[in-house]
Each structure stands twice: as C-alpha cells, then as structure tokens.
Amino acid sequence: MIMISSGIEGLGGGYTFDNPYVNKGIEDAQRAGIIVYTIYTPSVGHYGHSFWRTNWGQNFLSQLSDETGAESYFLGLGAPVSFDPFLRDIIDKQNYQYMLTFQAAPERKAGLQNVKVRVIEKDASVAAADKVYVPAGM
C-alpha cells in the first residue's frame, strides 16, 4: 500500500511514539500482512506550517512504514516536486521482494508476535515488519 499524507494526527492521542491511533493503524496493517510505504506531503493551513506538527507527522509516517516492513519518503519539510522518484523506488523494491516463511509458535490467544529478521551477508539489508499476526493454537 502507498499512503500519501502529512502524517499529522488530527484526532489527538498525543505526539509521542505511543500514539494510540498510529499504533492501531500499525497493528491493523501487521495483522492483515500489509506493507505500507508512506510519502510525505505537507498539510494545509496552520498544521501545514507548524514545524512541531510537521516533524511529528513525518515521525508517524516513518514509524508506520518501518514497523510494517516498508520505507518512508520525504524531502525536508516541503512538498516534493514530483512523486515519480519515490514511486520508482517503490516499484524497484517490489521487483526485489521475497516472501519469507517461518513457523511461529501459536499461543492460547491469537495476536501479534515479535519477529526479527537478520541478514548475514555483507553489504546487504532487509526491511521487514516488527510483528506478525499468529492465529491461536489448538
């Protein structure tokens, strides 16, 4: 999924990494197995020129992308001249996307479990979700 947004959380919830609305979006995406690429574009009005809100908006977008296994794109605080370079990079990443399978230990209750993916090859990196949804065990 590609989300183009200012990332500014207008419903409240606080400007911290423990924002309940952002965390719910991350949890829903992880549960559904959706990778969320984000592209920052400024908001309008007061929110659009408030450095404090803009900074947190970019933090929220970055947090959403990072925790779902994707990337976040922005150029400073202004609007990008074009989305084309970002969209090309996303397409390039999709062309080199691999599915990783593993066996998770189901617990009594369904829910999200932490997962850590490591690459042992030199000069290689991987973007992966921080958590995966695991159905309840029998």
Q: HEC profile for 72-97?
A: EECCCCCCCCCCHHHHHHHHHHHHCC
State whether residue 16 is helix, strand or coil. Answer: coil
Quick one: pLDDT at residue 13? 67
CA distance 4 to 36: 10
Enumerate the domain spans of the chain. 2-97
Instruction: Provide the residue count of the chain.
Output: 138
pLDDT tens, position by position, for the chain (138 residues)?
Answer: 999 999 987 776 667 778 889 999 999 999 998 999 999 999 887 766 778 888 889 999 999 999 999 999 999 888 899 999 999 999 999 888 877 888 888 888 888 888 888 888 888 778 888 888 888 876
Bridge partner list, 39: 4, 73
Quick one: pLDDT at residue 138? 65
Which tokens belong to 123?
A: 């000069």
State whether residue 56 is helix, strand or coil. Answer: helix
State whether residue 29 is helix, strand or coil. Answer: helix
Quick one: pLDDT at residue 120? 85
Quick one: pLDDT at residue 45? 75
